[in-house]
Structure 1
Amino acid sequence: MPEGHTLHRLARLHHRRYAGSQVRVCSPQGRFTAGASLIDGSVLERVDAHGKHLLHSFGPDRVVHVHLGLYGTFTESPVPLEEPRGKVRMRIVGATHGTDLRGPNACELITDDEVAALLSKLGPDPLRADADPERAWQRLSRSRTSIAALLMDQKVLAGAGNVYRAEVLFRQGVAPHTPGRELGRERWQLVWSDLVELMNQGVHSGRIDTVRPQHEPEVTGRAPRQDRHGGEVYVYRRAGQPCLVCAAPVLTDELAGRKLYWCPSCQG
């Protein structure tokens, strides 16, 4: 599932290409035909991201809510576009580019009240200027649930996924099974600040890099990471490999249906 930086990159791209202009909207697959017909030919006012949710606003009570889920993808192409291939849920066409959406978990036209209800259920997003980390702290500080599980709970923190969860806990030396209420406010502030920095870097670069300069391949002499996810990381998907800092084998476990990675020494 895409992490929050990917949705913010998409929001910026779509806003830059389409906002302030009339766009054509259709649903070649047919599953969004009713919603598309209500906004086809309208002016797209703005595009926002909140955590893993993307919102294309076409005016009062006309907001397209997209959640990509595990399999959703956007394909961007210059006009003129080819005939739709595959199950295209929504196609947006502007003056210079078109966007096809396939396989999302959600693609729906919702009202402003429904947007407010959706956002009220989300925790603060480290990529938003209006985010309030105190909201997340209030939930963390009262919870017996592990910090690893809490960071993946979108009601606590919006946007962070499995990679950022594993990496920020390593960088801050936090054992992933630590109960939220044992984390401490100062440590939480460090985790939050690190997430803000790392996720903003992801927005600009389009990949997740979490390794500090002194541990980069060109400094340590190790081979660059070869992985379809890209980016230099400390522990994510490195189970059994030596920690880049202390050489202890990276451990893995399953937590709430997702793989968890950590160094037993650096995060002891």
Structure 2
Amino acid sequence: MPEGHTLHRLALDLTDAFAGTKPQVSSPQGRFADSAALLNGRECRGADAHGKHLFVDFDDQLLHIHLGLIGKLRLAPPAPPLGQVRVRLATPQVAADLTGPQLCVVRTPAEVRAELARLGPDPLQPDADPERAWNRIHRSGKPIAALLMDQTVLSGVGNVYRAEVLFRQRIRPHVEGRKLARQSWLAIWDDLVTLMPQGVVDNRIDTVRGEHSPEAMGRPPRVDDHGGEVYVYRRAQLPCHVCGSRIRTEVLEGRNLFWCGRCQRRN
């Protein structure tokens, strides 16, 4: 599932492509035809994201998208649609095709505000308040590794950022939220505020510090379809870049967790 940086990057790309235009909105697949008709020909004001939710603004109507596990949103020059395209935004210059989303609905601004109220703060939003997340975390008996993935606690963090930020801050993934030190939470937040905007710029996740890069360590670069240099994500049984011990893995609440038992001992 795409993490928050991907949705913010898509919001920027959609704004560049459609803000100030009146795109044709259609549903080549047919399943979204009635809703597409509500948006067709309206002026697009741009797009924004909160966590893993994407909103395309058509004044008093907003197209709300959640890609889920298999959803894709592709921008390209107009051409006949490929596959089961749920919705297409198109001008003579560019088309955005959405396939396989978990959610694709038209909402009013009031409905969007209600949706956002249910979500945790997004580190990519300039006005995000880490205290909102901390108020949930320090009262919870769940492991911090589970809480970071709970979108009602914190928006936009997925499996990669979860594993990597905990490693970078040397925090035990199994420590309960109520036992997590406040300074550890603030370090997590500050790190996400640094890492995730860079992910928007690069359109990929890189988390290794300079001293642990392939060039500095004389090791081969990572080869993975997710891209980016990482410390622990999808590196089970490989040596830790810092201490050399084997990276561990287990399934936590249905998702694979990765960590280093030697490096990650802080609460």
* TM-score over 0.5 (shorter chain): yes
User: What secondary structure does 2:194 align onto?
Assistant: helix
Residue matched to 2:35:
35
Superposition pairs for residues 85-234 of structure 1, below 5 Å?
85-234=82-231
User: What secondary structure does 2:264 align onto?
Assistant: coil
Residue matched to 1:65:
64
Q: TM-score, normalised by structure 1?
A: 0.98
CA distance in 1, matches of 2:69, 2:123: 21
Deviation by residue 1:123-149 (Cα, 9 ceiling, x = unmatched) = 000000111000000000111100000
Corresponding position: 1:247 with 2:244? yes
User: What secondary structure does 1:163 align onto?
Assistant: helix
CA shift for structure 1 position 84? 1.3
CA distance in 2, matches of 1:70, 1:20: 31
CA distance in 2, matches of 1:39, 1:264: 52
Percent identity over paired residues: 55
Residue matched to 1:19:
19
Contiguous gaps of at least 5 residues in structure 2: none
Residue matched to 1:74:
73
CA distance in 2, matches of 1:212, 1:249: 19
CA shift for structure 1 position 95? 4.1
Residue matched to 1:237:
234
Deviation by residue 1:144-194 (Cα, 9 ceiling, x = unmatched) = 100000000000000000000000000000000000111111111110000
User: What secondary structure does 1:66 align onto?
Assistant: strand
C-alpha RMSD of matched pairs (Å)? 0.7
CA distance in 2, matches of 1:8, 1:82: 25
Runs (4+) off by over 3 Å: none
Deviation by residue 1:55-106 (Cα, 9 ceiling, x = unmatched) = 011011x11000000000011112xx22112100000012421110000001
CA distance in 1, matches of 2:28, 2:92: 19
Contiguous gaps of at least 5 residues in structure 1: none
User: What secondary structure does 2:98 align onto?
Assistant: strand
CA distance in 1, matches of 2:142, 2:234: 23
CA distance in 1, matches of 2:185, 2:74: 37
Amino acid at match of 1:42: R
CA shift for structure 1 position 231? 0.3
CA distance in 1, matches of 2:37, 2:49: 23
Residue matched to 1:44:
44
CA distance in 2, matches of 1:54, 1:9: 10
Amino acid at match of 1:103: G
CA distance in 2, matches of 1:82, 1:233: 37
